[in-house]
Amino acid sequence: MSEVDALVVSFIANVNVNDERSNDIAIKLTDLIQNKKIKLLQIIVALKDRFVSEDERERIKALKCLSCVLCNIEPQLLLKNDISVLINFYMSKITDKPLMLECLMGLDALMTMKYITIDQTITVMLFLQKDYVSKDFLAAVRNYPFSILQNIFDRWETLLNNKDKDNSNKNLIILFIQTYITIASGEKDPRNLLISFQLNKLITTNFKSESIQFAQALFDILFSYFPITFKPPKDDPYKISNADLKLALRSAISASDIFAEDAFSNLIDKLGATSPAIKNDTLLTLLTCINKFGGKACIEFWLQMWNALKFEIMHSGDGSEATYLDPIAQNDDKIEQNGSSVSNIQSNYQLSLDVLRALANQLIALDEIAFNKYVNHILEELKPNFEFTKDLRQSCSIMAAIGSANLVAFNKVIDLTLPLFLENTTEISKLKLMLLNLSFFLDSYIKVTKSFNGNETELNEFIKLNHLNDSKDEILMILGMALTGNSKIEVTVRTLSVIQFTKMIKMEGYLTKEEISLIIQYITETILTDNNKNIYCACLEGLKVISQTHESLVYDVSLKELLNLLPNGFNDLILHHKEDEIIQIEVILRVILDFTTSRHILIKESIVTLTQKLVEIYSNGNNAAIDYCFLLLSTIYSLFENNYSILDEISIGDIKNQTESSIFTILTNNNDNNSILFDNQNLSLLSNILYFRNVKYQKNQHELELTRYTKIFVEDHKILETPNRLVIPYVKILSAIDKSCTFSDASDIMEKTVTLIHNNKTNDMSNLEKIGYMELITVITNKWFNDELENTIIEKYVNWEDQSTINLEMIAWIGKGLITKNSPCSNIILSHFLSLLNDENIGLIVSKLFELFVMDINSMAKHKGITWTNNVKLLYKQKFFNDVFQSLVTSYNEPNLSLDIKCNYLTALSLILKHTPNKLVEQFMNDLLPMLLQALEMPNSEVRISALDTLKDTTEKFGLLITENIDTLLPILLKLVVPGSKYNDVSVRLMSLQLIGLLADSVPLNYLKPYKEQVINGLLLTLSDKKRIVRKQCIDTRQLYFELGQVPFE
């Protein structure tokens, strides 16, 4: 058997059994032909007997083999004679209906061949037009005629688009169109419809003159599917969505103005649909048609469209007063251009307005007289609404939508509409209505400027010639009076004025620099002196929006003013312009913090100025100064923390250069009145600020900074000789330095720190200082003791014979540095700590140290985008929990253990769970649950709280496991809610009540119902708990059990 025969036999054997294998064989056969090792004729000869077989399946497989080869063959390989023979062969087989799929597949491949002739192409199209009946075949077969037509167009596109004298090309085009109409009629398959819509668009855009006589038929094929209601099946192999079909159909309907009359009349009829989804699709299609067909096609239909749309607009709930009082909604840029929406779904109200805008655009482009007729007609209908203020909002939105088309439309609308409602009035109801409706025309201005897409010439012309310029002074005066001339109780009017002021800033080129400054001043004064939350939000949003385009102006007019208002004393009164307007320091700082977000200049200047303010007030050590420093430091810290990702090296460098001397003035002043150095909270905040100030400083300077700071703190201030509070800022600076820096002093600092800790076992060292030195050990261990140096630490500094609390704590901090980077040496410390839990003397102390291993501390934190500060591994907690859990469980379950020792294991486990993500715990729940139940009865409130927290999450995720233990869990929980026990503190009682309530939702009714009365009665005492939050939770929990098993009302 020859190679060809073998491959053919193999192909036949794999057809419909292993299609992937059969395709590979077809490719091999094609490669043999293309490499001139065999001829196509040899394959045909090998298949000859099967072509004429009486077995239908054999004929299908044989023809599929030939067609698959043709599908893979290069277009230039087959010559004219080859193609002629193949065309005749396929046309002879095409009457054999079972072979239709394979025949069309082969013909589809032949249509792409380089040497196919027009006559052969016509032969195939004539068959499809006259003899092919699509309804007789399945979707897979029906797909090929569409593909054949697409390939014919691609192959003969140049010829079809050339005009000839004898009309032969025209006849070919007409045959092409007729063939399409035949195969497309009645199609239902989504994949075929997608191609059908594309072919329809191809015909009407490329063969417009020939399509006119078939316009009705071509349109009917499309509109019979409108609106698309297709929902794809879950296992759809083609991944065709409803949106794909909608967009393809919309594109085809709007492809050519030969459909204008049919499209507009049918779409206008569809606007009467009751379904919002159908109406939405209709409006989107109508909008596309208007933009594609042009003004000439719209003249005849604009009146019908207006009559159909006005009901939708007048009776829509969109654009309510609440929307226009929402500053965020009003400043969210969603400007539509040419009918395309930024958001995925537009409301029918907005789409209706967009249609009116598109009509205006097209009519102006065609004839300004036609546009004038259009806008005058609409205004005449709407005028009574302005007179009687009925549907005034909708009327203004209609006119503003028309005006947003372009300069001509805008000026026409402004001239006709603004005089109807814009007037200076002191009547609140009228003023509110006017401000609401003015918003539409300001939006209209913004839309026009957005439509220029950066065309400076058109933009400048609009800025110069728009007629809204004539009313600018009047609008500014009305808004200014609305904001400053009304009582603070008129929240709506004041809020609206701020929103409109903000919108005016966004109107490109409309306001001068001086006018923008005035608005910024208005908004700044208002946010400081009005405590209404709606006005605060509106002003805040306004300052944020203005900062986006006029940051330096906001700094000069607003931020400088805010910073200058900060007094030198905490109790000093801040008077702003009016003697009766007293402003709180907290308000100023909150405003600064809220509106400077993500603005480089504002953040930088705020940090620098607030730091300078610290220098002025820190030296007065009274409580007021401490509180003031705390507010300033909290603000600076929040500015850094909220914006560190956008502060680059240059900005950080500027901040550092301008604040360095100020901060060290504070840190080096040992006067007892130092409100920062000698206050724990303030010193911690300032230290964290130093972290952010150094972490993104130029990395190539980190090593120099490390040396410089070490000299300042270690050598100059001798923090390693006697306990010193300056260790706190030093640790934070070290934690910010790049871990790859060489730190030659690391070993010496480590040794001196350990010595200092051991020499001050008494009360010489405050708790804050002790934590500072411990963190210093952890940071150095984690960052600068690697590989063999890790063993040196353990040999030199880990002394298990010294069982003093301070020594055990220090070893734990060393362990933390090793554990967080998954060091193998950490196992030495960990295993020893696990063994010490069994010690009756120090076991309890050791158990509490286990919390340290997994507790998150700022000095070892990971911040997004900052990878160079430490060696903390992302999954270290998971590894630690996996290493420790089984050891704790095994040791806990050992026989003859005293209750105290068991408590040690439970305490250690509970404190570890407190800082371990619940997801890591899930796989251990079967072993963990019995221990958690016992932990609830341990004489330690922290252990109980940790166990309750884990059980709450367990109840939600492992309902079946909790259900199996409900008889044990509920009685324990009922004991924990009773006040009186020193271990049942507020948190224990509250969390127990919450867990009992959670059981009502998580445990099946038949398991829980027997306990209903027990729970209701067991919670009686708790109803008189001293704490209101506990009493409230008790009432809510009891109610759940009263309702247990009842059918809720609808």
Each residue's pLDDT tens digit, 769-792: 999 999 999 999 999 998 778 888
Each residue's pLDDT tens digit, 961-975: 888 888 889 999 999
Q: What is the pLDDT of residue 403?
A: 95
Contacts (Cβ under 8 Å, ≥6 apart) of 716: none
Token pair 């362990």 is at which residue? 815
* Tokens at 297, concatenated: 């096609």
* C-alpha count within 13 angstroms, C-beta hemisphere, residue 858: 20
Token pair 């952010």 is at which residue? 692
The arithmetic mean of pLDDT across residues 748-757, rounded, is 93
C-alpha distances in Å from residue 46, one per residue of 49, 59, 86, 535: 8, 13, 15, 86
* pLDDT over 70 at 1047, yes or no: no
Rounded Cα distance, 942 and 479, in Å = 58
* pLDDT over 70 at 321, yes or no: no
Residues 845-866, buried b or exposed e (16+ Cβ, 10 A)?
bbbbbbbbbbeebebbeeeeee
Q: What is the pLDDT of residue 741?
A: 92
Query: Would you place residue 342 in the very low, low, confident or very high pLDDT band (cuts 50, 70, 90)?
Result: very low
Q: What is the pLDDT of residue 343?
A: 41
Each residue's pLDDT tens digit, 183-209: 999 999 999 999 999 999 999 999 999
* pLDDT over 70 at 281, yes or no: yes
Each residue's pLDDT tens digit, 514-569: 999 999 999 999 998 888 899 999 999 999 999 999 999 999 999 999 999 888 87
* Least confident piece of the model among 6-20, 301-315, 473-487, 930-944: 930-944
The arithmetic mean of pLDDT across residues 689-699, rounded, is 91
* pLDDT over 50 at 340, yes or no: no
How many other β-carbons are positioned within 10 Å of the β-carbon of residue 808? 18
* Least confident piece of the model among 319-323, 598-602, 761-765, 844-848: 319-323
Domain range list for the chain: 1-116, 552-697, 717-916, 950-1050
Q: What is the pLDDT of residue 718?
A: 92
* pLDDT over 90 at 380, yes or no: yes
Each residue's pLDDT tens digit, 607-660: 999 999 988 888 776 778 888 899 999 999 999 998 888 888 898 999 999 999
Strand partners, 866: 863
Q: What is the pLDDT of residue 315?
A: 80
* pLDDT over 80 at 41, yes or no: yes
Q: What is the pLDDT of residue 575?
A: 60
Each residue's pLDDT tens digit, 45-101: 999 989 988 899 999 999 999 999 999 999 999 999 999 999 999 999 998 899 999
DSSP 529-542: H---HHHHHHHHHH
| E-strand stretches of 424-517 | none
How many other β-carbons are positioned within 10 Å of the β-carbon of residue 462? 21
Q: Is the peptide bond before 1004 cis (omega within 30 degrees of 0)?
A: no
Rounded Cα distance, 605 and 611, in Å = 10
Phi, psi of 405 (to 5 degrees): -70, -50
Residues 894-925, buried b or exposed e (16+ Cβ, 10 A)?
eeeeeeebbbbbbbbbbbbbbbbeeebbeeeb
Nearest partner of 141 among 81, 175, 94, judged by Cα = 94
Q: What percent of the chain is predicted at pLDDT more than 70?
A: 95
* C-alpha count within 13 angstroms, C-beta hemisphere, residue 995: 32
Strand partners, 863: 866
**What value does the mean pLDDT of the chain take?**
88
Rounded Cα distance, 86 and 106, in Å = 9
Query: Would you place residue 319 in the very low, low, confident or very high pLDDT band (cuts 50, 70, 90)?
Result: low
**DSSP code of residue 938:** S
User: What is the separation of C-alpha 130 from the centre of its chain, rounded to a whole number of angstroms?
Assistant: 55
Nearest partner of 67 among 130, 118, 112, 123, judged by Cα = 112
Does residue 598 come out as left (phi exceeding 0), alpha (psi in the -120 to 50 range) or beta? left
C-alpha distances in Å from residue 550, one per residue of 113, 459, 460, 512, 937: 62, 19, 19, 12, 63
* Tokens at 602, concatenated: 């504002």
* pLDDT over 50 at 270, yes or no: yes
DSSP 844-883: HHHHHHHHHHH---GGG--BTTB-SS----TTHHHHHHHH
Q: Domain 717-916's class? A: mainly alpha
User: What is the separation of C-alpha 675 from the centre of its chain, rounded to a whole number of angstroms?
Assistant: 42
Q: What is the pLDDT of residue 1050?
A: 40
Work out the widest C-alpha separation in the chain, in whole angstroms.
113
Geometric angle at alpha carbon 837, from 832 and 839, rounded to 5°: 100
Note whether 608 and 655 are within 8 A (CB): yes
Each residue's pLDDT tens digit, 351-370: 999 999 999 999 999 999 99
* pLDDT over 90 at 906, yes or no: no
Query: Would you place residue 688 in the very low, low, confident or very high pLDDT band (cuts 50, 70, 90)?
Result: very high
Query: Would you place residue 239 in the very low, low, confident or very high pLDDT band (cuts 50, 70, 90)?
Result: confident
Phi, psi of 453 (to 5 degrees): 50, 45
Q: What is the pLDDT of residue 485?
A: 79
Each residue's pLDDT tens digit, 941-954: 878 887 887 788 77
Nearest partner of 934 among 914, 963, 905, 961, judged by Cα = 905
H helix or E strand, kind and range, residue 582 = strand 578-582
Rounded Cα distance, 305 and 308, in Å = 5
The arithmetic mean of pLDDT across residues 29-54, rounded, is 90
Rounded Cα distance, 696 and 649, in Å = 6
C-alpha distances in Å from residue 879, one per residue of 786, 883, 920: 19, 6, 10
Query: Would you place residue 337 in the very low, low, confident or very high pLDDT band (cuts 50, 70, 90)?
Result: very low
Rounded Cα distance, 902 and 930, in Å = 13
Rounded Cα distance, 249 and 285, in Å = 9
Query: Would you place residue 713 in the very low, low, confident or very high pLDDT band (cuts 50, 70, 90)?
Result: very high
Q: What is the pLDDT of residue 329?
A: 53
DSSP 290-332: HHHH-HHHHTTTHHHHHHHHHHHHHT---S-HHHHT-HHHHTS
Q: Which amino acid is at 369?
A: I
Q: Which amino acid is at 484?
A: T
Give the sign of the dihedral formed by CA 151, CA 154, CA 160, CA 161.
positive
Rounded Cα distance, 349 and 341, in Å = 13
* pLDDT over 70 at 330, yes or no: no
Each residue's pLDDT tens digit, 580-608: 677 888 889 999 998 887 778 899 999 99
Query: Would you place residue 907 in the very low, low, confident or very high pLDDT band (cuts 50, 70, 90)?
Result: confident
* pLDDT over 80 at 1045, yes or no: no
C-alpha distances in Å from residue 118, one per residue of 100, 122, 144, 236: 23, 6, 19, 37
* pLDDT over 70 at 878, yes or no: yes
Note whether 184 and 176 are within 8 A (CB): no
| Tally of residues, the chain | 1050
Nearest partner of 383 among 339, 405, 350, 416, judged by Cα = 416
Each residue's pLDDT tens digit, 852-865: 999 999 888 888 88
